[in-house]
Chains A and B, each alone.
Chain A
Amino acid sequence: MTAESRVISVNGPVVRAFGTRNMAMRELVRVGDLGLLGEIVRMEGEEALVQMYEDTQGLRVGEPVKGTGGPLSVLLGPGLAGSIIDGIGRPLSALLKEEGAFITRGVSVPQLDLSRSWEIRAEVSAGDVVTPGNLLATVRESPLLDHRILVPFDVSGEVEYIVPSGFAKGSDIVARVRGPMGRDQEIRMTASWPVRMPRPYAERLLPDEPLVTGQRVIDGLFPIAKGGVAAIPGGFGTGKTVTQHQLAKWSDASVVVYIGCGERGNEMTQVLEEFPSLEDPRTGRPLMERTILIANTSNMPVAAREASIYTGITIAEYYRDMGYDVALMADSTSRWAEALREISGRLEEIPAEEGFPAYLPTRLAEFYERAGRVVTIGGEHGSISIIGAVSPPGGDFTEPVTRHTKRFIRCFWALDRPLANARHFPAISWTESYSEYAGEVEPWFEAHVDASWGRLRDEARAILAEDEKIRQIIRLVGEDVLPNDQRLVDLTASLLRNGYLQQGAFGPDSFCPPEKGFAILNLILTFHRTAEKLVTAGCPLSLIRNMGELVELIHAREIPAERTDATADLGRRIGETLSRIGSERIAPEGRG
């Protein structure tokens, strides 16, 4: 019997319990006199192993263990957007109110405030026949976000009752549906979902629309699609978190789920302080209104770190099912993998590579596969894009987490230590990074920004790649021995690096619309093509290099996006100066 279940051993975050026959694998349990939360991860006869979501200090043999009757779940409903919860779904605001500045143990707080009243609009009428995923009512979760209450996956039939438009509470029944067997089913504004179970969808679609991020190196060179998966690996201090914050701020997703998984408390605080005062560039509303934060900082219990990833992706799926494009950031998936490793070690499982359990790749795959663009059960189009940070020890990308992650993602933004040390940010390496979505999203950019988008991308990448070789030679013997055309490539590459790829996150350049990014790229490459002709015709490079306009070109990103006239003017002046140089230096019959 449940009442007889008790603790028989405590080893850090892993507890062994006896007398757990009536409990289920993966059941959420309350352990000890304090009622600490844990989850059953293995069952052997009369015994169960429990991974603990709270610190086990002071826990004694013989203390009781109680089942909760269900798996670890998260309560889904209005009120999630704009909030911050811990790894197992408890709102930090409620913990703060109950317990003060420090997080203590054994606290029970409701996952959502059910007494809060919401503006609601009925979308069906009594008598309508509904099937799973149909829209029942819309709640105005924030001015930025309509929260759609859908028919659950196991309910269909005739609407008996629908909440009248107006106001309703979180605990209210939104609709009652009479099922085929004549059984009435009540649908509430909130519903619970087990975090380890992916929510179903009707069909997968190919991602072909970019997630526009406002970061030139990403949108321009290594784009990610809506519904795509990207990894951003890098040693400490190379810019994983800043890049993830940038994407959380500026990408054109409708909902952002940000998981701080085993990272710093201050980084979560920063988002909490900053996002409410930042405007979404597309709607002008505070960014916090579309953001959900999940905080399991590095000093919080390690098993809850393991769970936080699932809590996050479940919330993302919930909004996807409403037909939204959701972007999920996980910082850092390495800390999650390490949590797996630590628990696996305490369970005395046989380790595979570097102590990680053999199922590490499976877990990674399961997580990343929950991303994608889909047709929802209700027939809408929705997507989840995942951007996972990876923190390889010593910045070495051959370690297991990075290596396995690479198998399941299609977009790789490799952060480069020398670039970060030189404060070239974002330190995304243009030689090691790749995006398999580039071809798939090109038509979108060509239709929405410029028809030559793809051609310019190819040109820029070719110049950067060639310059890598040229720079190697320069490093060995200096540039004097190089022919002028190669020195021009080096010059253009430096314009690309300093004027285009480099983008500070903390100033006005933080968000760069793709149109502006394209305009800068076009300026640089147009300069290059013209200069190339001059150089081929024998014009000395020094004349070109000393043009005053080049300084302006490097600073072209400082021109506000709406001042397209100023950018065009700069382009015209560069062209004029070049043609003046050409006409002065090259004989009229020259090939230039």
Chain B
Amino acid sequence: MARTEYVGVDTIAGPFLMLGDIRGVGYDELVEITSADGIPRQGKVVLVDEGATLVQVFSGTQGLTPSGTRIRFSGAPLEIAVAPSIIGRTFDGLGRPRDGCGPVLGGERRNVNGAPINPMARLYPRDFISTGISVMDTLTTLIRGQKLPIFSGNGLPHNRLAVQIATQSHLAGAENFAVVFAGIGIRHDDAAFFTSRLQESGQGNNLVLFLNTADDPVIERIATPRLALTAAEYLAFDLGMHVLVILTDMTSYAEALRELSVARGEVPSRKGYPAYLYSDLASMYERAGVIRGGQGSVTQLPILTMPNDDITHPIPDLTGFITEGQIVLSRELDARGIYPPVDPLKSLSRLMKDGIGKGYTRDDHPGVSSQLFAAYSRTQDARALAGVVGEDEINETDTKYLAFGKAFEEHFIAQGIEENREIGQSLDMGWYLISMLPAAELTRVTMEELRAHVGGDAPK
């Protein structure tokens, strides 16, 4: 494409360049920027006006000069080349090869922004993914095609958990399974942890990596998850693969977005984040699912670290409003050495209701999970009371709840980082734990289930 090159810009401010009256430039178009010393960078058009065109530079404007900067408009949005050969490759945060293996040959170019899936074209996700982790399989079941984030905090083992899920999910063995990993502003160590762990478990050859590390340009982070999701959609909906997308850390993404928004002088909403943070996050999280008549699926496992462990902070809050549940890690459980430190009460899988029980996992799964939730919640009350009046002063029922809570945390939630439990085994453990409580407390399972599983304890 022979496109006109413009030399010189009017204004350089923050990550933005402003050019005067230029015709024929499209909103959101990709821009090639060359500084006086000849080094190219990329940017995109964020405002077009008769008098001015505003360009946001991904790698920042440092070192650009008003007169020496050359600009070329590409006539297209940011794109990524997709081909079967992207599997096994590593790209940077803007989709350029980072592994020295050269460009993706013969690829088809795709707009990284994607397009909304017509709800009529979707197939409601119902297929249970066995992760082998009791607390997940039983209480926050992962479903193929779901978007289920991990809400974590600094220093908690979210990476380990994500790797365990990726390697143990039964999909992992399948031929047509791939992991797409987007590192957004993560430390080199974390990136190395993921690659080496996944490689060790034999996932290396169906892994696609997009890496923007903590020392890479911040503005690039806006593009990184979109590149990864475009690659994932291609693998899933064109090649029919089951794709697990790990996006980490979404907090860094949102911070990059805030930085841009502030630089543009937009009216901020909560905590300085732009008012469109919800829509912006949704434009990525909604890129998960199953398409009717297709073979593959995109399952999303975004990871975010909650600033100050605050779940009401806009990033986890808006994420929770978009995703189909959340897995919340607890600092308290972690401090007690319980791995995975999943807080079941705050965690939720919204899709589990249609993917468990008769014909999916086991008939009694809905009842058992509901009862475990109720019992563990009641345990918190008993603990609070025991904390006030002392363990010896509480009544018999509350004492039973304390015992239940302890066993539940130490044997059910806790498990080894390579321990893979069958769902049946987890549910049986669940019954064992429930049976520690008086029958009158078991209000969430049916009378029939009570008779079948608790036996002698159940009333006639």
Distance in angstroms between the alpha carbons of A555 and B47 in the assembled complex: 62
Q: List 9 A–B pairs whose Cβ atoms lie within 8 Å, in order of A's numbering.
A: A8-B49, A58-B26, A101-B117, A264-B286, A270-B354, A297-B119, A345-B275, A393-B312, A555-B443
Judge if B361 is at the interface, Cβ distance under 8 Å: no
Residues of A within 8 A of B307 (CB): none
Contact mask for chain A residues 257-277; partner B; CB cutoff 8 A; 1 contact, 0 none: 000101011101110110000
Residues of A within 8 A of B374 (CB): 422-424
Instruction: Tell me whether A96 and B321 are in contact (CB under 8 A).
Output: no
Judge if B346 is at the interface, Cβ distance under 8 Å: yes
CB proximity of A95 to chain B, nearest CB, Å? 6
List residues 521-568 of chain A with CB under 8 A from any CB of chain B.
Answer: 548, 550-552, 554-555, 558
Judge if A395 is at the interface, Cβ distance under 8 Å: yes
Judge if B459 is at the interface, Cβ distance under 8 Å: yes
List residues 1-48 of chain A with CB under 8 A from any CB of chain B.
Answer: 8-12, 16
Residues of A within 8 A of B291 (CB): 101
Judge if B353 is at the interface, Cβ distance under 8 Å: yes
Distance in angstroms between the alpha carbons of A264 and B351 in the assembled complex: 12
Residues of B within 8 A of A268 (CB): 119
Given contacts A58-B27, A506-B353, 14 further A-B contacts (CB under 8 A): A61-B23, A102-B116, A103-B118, A266-B289, A269-B123, A270-B124, A298-B282, A299-B282, A302-B276, A393-B318, A422-B373, A478-B393, A550-B440, A551-B447
- Given A264-B324, A341-B275: A480 and B123 interface contact (C-beta under 8 Å): no
Residues of A within 8 A of B120 (CB): 84, 92-93, 95-96, 269, 272
Residue of A nearest to B346 (CB): A421
Residues of B within 8 A of A475 (CB): 381, 384-385, 388
Distance in angstroms between the alpha carbons of A479 and B397 in the assembled complex: 12
- Given A355-B275, A475-B381: A265 and B447 interface contact (C-beta under 8 Å): no
List residues 85-122 of chain B with CB under 8 A from any CB of chain A.
Answer: 111, 113-122
- Given A100-B121, A266-B289: A57 and B116 interface contact (C-beta under 8 Å): no
CB proximity of A237 to chain B, nearest CB, Å? 5
Residues of A within 8 A of B49 (CB): 8-11, 16, 61
Partner of B320, one of A57, A104, A236, A260: A236
Partner of A351, one of B116, B119, B267: B267
Instruction: Tell me whether B48 and A237 are in contact (CB under 8 A).
Output: no
- Given A61-B48, A237-B326: A395 and B312 interface contact (C-beta under 8 Å): yes
Residues of B within 8 A of A260 (CB): 119
Contact mask for chain B residues 344-367; partner A; CB cutoff 8 A; 1 contact, 0 none: 011010110110000000000010
Residues of B within 8 A of A335 (CB): 278
Instruction: Tell me whether A298 and B446 are in contact (CB under 8 A).
Output: no
Contact mask for chain B residues 6-46; partner A; CB cutoff 8 A; 1 contact, 0 none: 00000000000000000111111100000000000000000
- Given A237-B320, A550-B440: A354 and B26 interface contact (C-beta under 8 Å): no
CB proximity of A449 to chain B, nearest CB, Å? 25
Distance in angstroms between the alpha carbons of A341 and B374 in the assembled complex: 39
Instruction: Tell me whether B28 and A422 are in contact (CB under 8 A).
Output: no
Distance in angstroms between the alpha carbons of A262 and B77 in the assembled complex: 25
Most interface-central of B26, B76, B114, B312 (chain A CB within 10 A): B26
List residues 384-443 of chain B with CB under 8 A from any CB of chain A.
Answer: 384-385, 388-389, 393-395, 439-440, 443
Partner of B47, one of A9, A60, A235, A300: A9
Instruction: Tell me whether A298 and B286 are in contact (CB under 8 A).
Output: yes
Residues of B within 8 A of A554 (CB): 440, 443
Residues of B within 8 A of A180 (CB): none
List residues 339-368 of chain A with CB under 8 A from any CB of chain B.
Answer: 341-342, 345, 351, 354-355
Residue of B nearest to A63 (CB): B26
Instruction: Tell me whether B121 and A507 are in contact (CB under 8 A).
Output: no
- Given A8-B49, A302-B279: A393 and B317 interface contact (C-beta under 8 Å): yes
- Given A298-B279, A351-B267: A265 and B459 interface contact (C-beta under 8 Å): no
CB proximity of A552 to chain B, nearest CB, Å? 7
Nearest 5 pairs between A and B by C-beta? A298-B282, A394-B312, A422-B377, A236-B320, A101-B121
Instruction: Tell me whether A421 and B119 are in contact (CB under 8 A).
Output: no
Contact mask for chain A residues 368-395; partner B; CB cutoff 8 A; 1 contact, 0 none: 0000000000000000000000010111
Residue of B nearest to A350 (CB): B267
Partner of B443, one of A60, A96, A499: A499
Residue of A nearest to B319 (CB): A236
Judge if B65 is at the interface, Cβ distance under 8 Å: no
Most interface-central of A265, A351, A355, A506 (chain B CB within 10 A): A265
Distance in angstroms between the alpha carbons of A421 and B376 in the assembled complex: 10
Judge if A476 is at the interface, Cβ distance under 8 Å: yes
Residues of B within 8 A of A59 (CB): 26-27, 48
Residue of B nearest to A6 (CB): B50
Report B's interface with A, CB cutoff 8 A. 23-29, 47-50, 76-77, 111, 113-125, 237, 266-270, 275-276, 278-279, 282-283, 286-287, 289, 291-292, 294, 312, 314, 317-318, 320-322, 324-326, 345-346, 348, 350-351, 353-354, 366, 370, 373-374, 377-378, 381, 384-385, 388-389, 393-395, 439-440, 443-444, 446-447, 459-460
Judge if A295 is at the interface, Cβ distance under 8 Å: yes
Residues of A within 8 A of B282 (CB): 262, 297-299
Instruction: Tell me whether A299 and B286 are in contact (CB under 8 A).
Output: yes
| Interchain pairs with CB closer than 8 A, number | 223
Residues of A within 8 A of B312 (CB): 393-396
Q: Number of A interface residues, CB 8 Å?
A: 80
Most interface-central of A62, A99, A102 (chain B CB within 10 A): A102
Residues of A within 8 A of B378 (CB): 422
Partner of B322, one of A93, A264, A295, A552: A264
- Given A342-B279, A552-B459: A269 and B119 interface contact (C-beta under 8 Å): yes
Instruction: Tell me whether A478 and B345 are in contact (CB under 8 A).
Output: no
- Given A237-B320, A479-B395, A555-B446: A60 and B26 interface contact (C-beta under 8 Å): yes
CB proximity of B346 to chain A, nearest CB, Å? 6
Residues of A within 8 A of B324 (CB): 264, 266
CB proximity of B23 to chain A, nearest CB, Å? 6
Residue of A nearest to B287 (CB): A299
CB proximity of B138 to chain A, nearest CB, Å? 13
Distance in angstroms between the alpha carbons of A51 and B289 in the assembled complex: 30
Judge if A474 is at the interface, Cβ distance under 8 Å: yes
Judge if A504 is at the interface, Cβ distance under 8 Å: yes
Instruction: Tell me whether B118 and A95 are in contact (CB under 8 A).
Output: yes
Judge if A289 is at the interface, Cβ distance under 8 Å: no
CB proximity of B18 to chain A, nearest CB, Å? 13
Distance in angstroms between the alpha carbons of A102 and B312 in the assembled complex: 33
Instruction: Tell me whether A60 and B27 are in contact (CB under 8 A).
Output: yes
Most interface-central of A16, A299, A548 (chain B CB within 10 A): A299
Instruction: Tell me whether B270 and A298 are in contact (CB under 8 A).
Output: no
- Given A9-B48, A60-B27, A355-B268: A96 and B440 interface contact (C-beta under 8 Å): no
CB proximity of A233 to chain B, nearest CB, Å? 13
Instruction: Tell me whether B50 and A61 are in contact (CB under 8 A).
Output: yes
Instruction: Tell me whether A551 and B459 are in contact (CB under 8 A).
Output: yes
Judge if A254 is at the interface, Cβ distance under 8 Å: no
- Given A84-B120, A269-B123, A345-B266: A237 and B50 interface contact (C-beta under 8 Å): no
Residues of A within 8 A of B294 (CB): 101
Judge if A131 is at the interface, Cβ distance under 8 Å: no
Instruction: Tell me whether A84 and B278 are in contact (CB under 8 A).
Output: no
- Given A60-B27, A421-B377: A265 and B117 interface contact (C-beta under 8 Å): yes
Instruction: Tell me whether B269 and A354 are in contact (CB under 8 A).
Output: yes
Instruction: Tell me whether A8 and B321 are in contact (CB under 8 A).
Output: no
Most interface-central of A237, A396, A548 (chain B CB within 10 A): A237
Distance in angstroms between the alpha carbons of A100 and B289 in the assembled complex: 16
- Given A264-B322, A265-B289, A506-B366: A11 and B115 interface contact (C-beta under 8 Å): no
Instruction: Tell me whether A60 and B48 are in contact (CB under 8 A).
Output: yes
Instruction: Tell me whether A269 and B393 are in contact (CB under 8 A).
Output: no
Residue of A nearest to B447 (CB): A555
- Given A60-B24, A60-B25, A479-B395: A498 and B443 interface contact (C-beta under 8 Å): yes
Residues of B within 8 A of A550 (CB): 440
Residues of B within 8 A of A295 (CB): 119
